[in-house]
């Protein structure tokens, strides 16, 4: 009877994961979907703790289990409550890295159990006692989890500004060599003396950690959304390996869902950034060695005053706002929403154009604007927004850079050439809010800033929006 109840717990957890993931595809239902999946996970965990039984024995060790849950729960809750929206990508990387570490530790514990069982038979090979499929699951979980952990920690450091980009000549070749060493060590461990198996296993894990560091280290911030998504899929696959090891249905289902969703999202992100998945895997994109394109005389840019911007926006029929990382840094989402409401009270149609990789993680701008209670129906995806730019009177760009650079379509020498962008230059007027003329993460000047219909409005996004609101109210 207990087994049946535990099976139902796992079934319920698996179903809630699937439904919750589906609900995450719509901003209006995403919060409830997250809560539903969390409830399913809680039931699966409680069921495992109290109902799981093997050879007539229950888990036990309740003080350690609940102590770990309590400590982790407190740290997670406090971290989530204190984190700023601008730091959300770092938190996602950190949490994802912890998932990878857990998966690697599960494989390590399972391997140690096998080693302790057969270590006395030093003249035999590990393959004499462990089936190839079982060993493959263990070593895959250890390698993929270690890569995910190390890579996520580097991503966290780079996003938080604690670690700088680092690359050198032949970086991708070194990466591939280290990856080959990881795979060779994994095979050698299985086909070698049991007495040395544990040492070789730890060498394999160590090399996997080194590969995780080398894999992410050269990648620039502009490409970090792809990296986060890819590492997330790695963690899912590693968790699925743990589910195979312990025949745990809910862990297996959750891992497969995370792995599949992360992989699909990675492919979509690559398409949105004009990157190939092969380049992602060898870690050769987005670093400081990217070519800067052909240097050309851009001419001069023109500035616009707050009062002129207020007049143009107040008497416009349609305004599209393009949010970028600068908006997040300034924490200006609430001021942006206030501007939207003020313009709508004057009869202006206001919508938001969202590029798939705006910000530092997939969906960053959507989450940021949702925090300010912006209506989900006003958030236009890139394809929808591009259809509306020709009929737009003014586009207000807040901290976005590379995702609106026309060089992606017109300059074959540009490192972002071929990347799908928001066609803001098709609007009648373009106002760009930036702190300075400093290039974005791609390290190149933006051709848009020098076009005749573009005007620059310099300053912190939050202060500029607040002052702009004041000017419009005084008209």
**Average predicted confidence (pLDDT) for the chain:** 85
Q: Which of 238, 264, 290 is the last residue of a domain?
A: 290
Q: Within this chain, do residues 66 and 92 fall inside the same structural domain, yes or no?
A: no
* 120 and 248 assigned to the same domain: yes
Closest to 194 measured CA to CA, from 125, 265, 269:
125
Question: Looking at 290, 316, 348, which one is the last position of a domain?
Answer: 290
Percent of the chain with pLDDT over 70: 90
pLDDT tens readout for residues 269-288: 777 766 676 665 554 444 44
Catalytic residues, which ones?
A: 402
Q: What angle do CA 443, 447, 450 make, to 5 degrees?
A: 125
Q: What are phi and psi of 390, to 5 degrees?
A: -60, -25
Q: Is residue 301 part of a domain?
A: no
The count of other CB atoms within 10 Å of the CB of residue 338 is: 16
In a domain, 297, yes or no: no
Cβ count within 10 A of residue 5: 12
Whether residue 248 has pLDDT greater than 90: no
Is 332 found in the same domain as 281? no
Same domain flag for 130 and 103: yes
Is 424 contained in some domain? yes
Q: Give the pLDDT of residue 296.
A: 56
Does residue 142 sit in the same domain as residue 270? Answer: yes
In a domain, 298, yes or no: no
Provide the greatest CA pair distance for the chain: 89
Distance (Å, whole) CA 470 – CA 307: 10
177-217: pLDDT as tens digits: 999 999 999 998 888 777 788 889 999 999 999 999 998 88
Please tell me which residue, 25 or 241, carries the higher pLDDT value: 241
What's the whole-number mean pLDDT along residues 240-254?
89
Residue pair 200/192 in contact (Cβ under 8 Å)? The answer is yes
CA pair distance 42, 52, nearest whole angstrom: 15
CA pair distance 17, 242, nearest whole angstrom: 17
Does residue 274 sit in the same domain as residue 175?
A: yes
Q: Which of 328, 351, 325, 324 is nearest to 340 (CA)?
A: 351
* β-strand partners of 183: none
What is residue 130's DSSP assignment? S
| 120 lies in the same domain as 172 | yes
> How far, in Å, CA of 354 to CA of 350, rounded?
13
Residue 313: the pLDDT is: 93
- pLDDT of 292: 45
What is the distance, to the nearest Å, from the Cα of residue 91 to the centroid of all Cα atoms in its chain?
10
**Residue 180: count of CB within 10 angstroms of its CB:** 12
Q: What is the CATH number of the domain that holds 356?
A: 3.40.50.1220
pLDDT of residue 285: 42
Residue ending a domain, among 67, 82, 97, is 82
Predicted pLDDT at 224: 74
For the chain, give the percent of residues with pLDDT over 90.
Answer: 43
Which string of DSSP letters, residue by residue, matches 281-303? HTT-SSSTTS------------B
Q: Once rounded to an integer, what is the mean pLDDT over residues 352-376?
A: 82
Q: Give pLDDT, residue 417.
A: 78
Is residue 109 assigned to a domain?
yes
pLDDT grade for 19, boundaries at 50, 70 and 90: very high
Please check whether residues 225 and 121 belong to one and the same domain: yes
Q: What is the pTM of this model?
A: 0.80
Give the pLDDT band (50/70/90) at residue 88: confident
CB atoms within 10 A of CB 407: 23
Question: Can you tell me the distance from the alpha carbon of 390 to that of 423, in angstroms, rounded to the nearest whole number?
Answer: 9
> Is there a domain that residue 184 lies in?
yes
Determine the structural domain holding residue 20 and report its residue range. Answer: 1-82
CB atoms inside a 10 Å sphere around CB 381? 12
Q: Which pLDDT value is given to residue 433? A: 92
Shared domain check, 224 and 368: no
- At residue 382, the 3 state secondary structure works out as helix
The Cα–Cα gap between 399 and 432 comes to 8
* Residue 440: pLDDT over 70: no
Torsion angles phi and psi, residue 380, rounded to 5: -100, 135
Residue 123 belongs to some domain of the structure: yes
- 334: pLDDT confidence band, cut at 50, 70 and 90? very high
* Banded model confidence at residue 397, pLDDT cuts 50, 70, 90: very high
Q: Which of 316, 309, 390 is nearest to 353 (CA)?
A: 390
What is the mean pLDDT of the segment spanning 51-61?
78
Q: Indicate if the pLDDT at residue 297 is higher than 90.
A: no
Q: In this model, does residue 406 exceed pLDDT 60?
A: yes
Rg for the chain (alpha carbons), in Å? 26
Domains: count for the chain? 3
Written as six digits, the tokens of 301 are 């840019």
Same domain, 313 and 459: yes
Give per-residue pLDDT as tens, 300-320. 888 899 999 999 999 999 999
Is 54 within a domain? Answer: yes
Using one digit for the tens of pLDDT, what is the confidence trace for 129-183? 888 889 999 999 999 999 999 999 998 888 877 887 677 777 778 888 999 999 9
Q: Report pLDDT for 337.
A: 94
Residues 310 and 413 both lie in one domain? yes
Using alpha carbons, list the distances in angstroms from residue 27 to 16, 36, 89: 18, 15, 18
Q: Could you tell me if 423 and 386 are in contact, meaning their C-beta atoms sit under 8 angstroms apart?
A: yes
Q: Based on the domain organization, do 34 and 111 belong to the same domain?
A: no
Banded model confidence at residue 329, pLDDT cuts 50, 70, 90? confident
Reported confidence tier of residue 299, pLDDT bands at 50, 70, 90? low
- What pLDDT sits at residue 314? 92
């Amino acid at each position: 009877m207990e087994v049946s109840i535990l099976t139902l717990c796992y079934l319920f957890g698996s179903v809630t994961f699937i439904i919750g993931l589906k609900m995450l595809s719509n901003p209006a239902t995403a919060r409830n979907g997250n809560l539903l999946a969390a409830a399913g996970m809680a039931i699966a965990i409680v069921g495992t703790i109290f109902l799981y039984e093997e050879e007539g024995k229950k888990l036990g060790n309740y003080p350690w289990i609940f102590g770990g849950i309590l400590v982790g729960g407190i740290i997670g809750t406090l971290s989530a409550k204190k984190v700023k929206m601008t730091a959300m990508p770092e938190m996602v990387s950190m949490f994802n890295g912890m998932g990878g570490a857990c998966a690697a530790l599960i494989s390590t514990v399972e391997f140690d159990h096998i080693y302790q069982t057969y270590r006395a038979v030093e003249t035999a090979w590990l393959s004499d006692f462990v089936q190839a499929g079982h060993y493959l699951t263990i070593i895959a979980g250890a390698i993929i989890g270690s890569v995910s952990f190390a890579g996520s920690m580097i991503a966290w450091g780079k996003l938080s500004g604690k670690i700088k980009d680092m690359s050198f000549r032949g970086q991708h070749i070194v990466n591939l060599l280290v990856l080959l060493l990881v795979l060779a060590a994994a095979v050698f461990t299985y086909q070698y003396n049991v007495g040395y198996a544990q040492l070789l296993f730890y060498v394999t894990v160590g090399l996997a950690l080194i590969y995780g560091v080398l894999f992410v280290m050269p990648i620039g911030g502009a490409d970090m959304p792809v990296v986060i998504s890819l590492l997330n899929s790695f963690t899912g696959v590693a968790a699925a390996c743990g589910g195979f090891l312990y025949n745990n249905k809910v862990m297996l289902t959750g891992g497969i869902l995370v792995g599949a969703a992360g992989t699909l999202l990675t492919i979509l992100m690559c398409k949105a950034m004009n990157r190939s998945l092969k380049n992602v895997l060898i870690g050769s994109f987005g670093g400081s060695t990217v070519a800067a394109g052909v240097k050309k005389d851009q001419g001069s840019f023109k500035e616009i005053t707050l009062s002129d911007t207020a007049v143009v926006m107040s008497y416009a029929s349609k305004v599209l706002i393009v949010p970028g990382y600068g908006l997040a840094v300034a924490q200006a989402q609430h001021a942006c929403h206030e501007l939207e409401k003020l313009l709508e009270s004057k009869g202006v149609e206001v919508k938001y154009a969202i590029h798939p990789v705006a910000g530092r993680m997939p969906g960053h701008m959507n989450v940021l604007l949702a925090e300010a209670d912006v209506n989900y129906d006003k958030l236009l995806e890139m394809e929808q927004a591009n259809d509306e730019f020709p009929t737009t009177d003014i586009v207000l760009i807040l901290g976005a850079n590379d995702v609106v650079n026309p060089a992606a379509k017109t300059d074959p020498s540009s490192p972002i050439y071929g990347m799908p962008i928001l066609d803001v230059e098709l609007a009648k007027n373009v106002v760009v809010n930036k702190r300075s003329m400093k290039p974005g993460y791609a390290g190149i000047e933006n051709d848009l800033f020098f076009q005749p219909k573009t005007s620059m409005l310099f300053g912190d996004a939050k202060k500029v929006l607040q002052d702009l609101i004041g000017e419009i109210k005084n008209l």
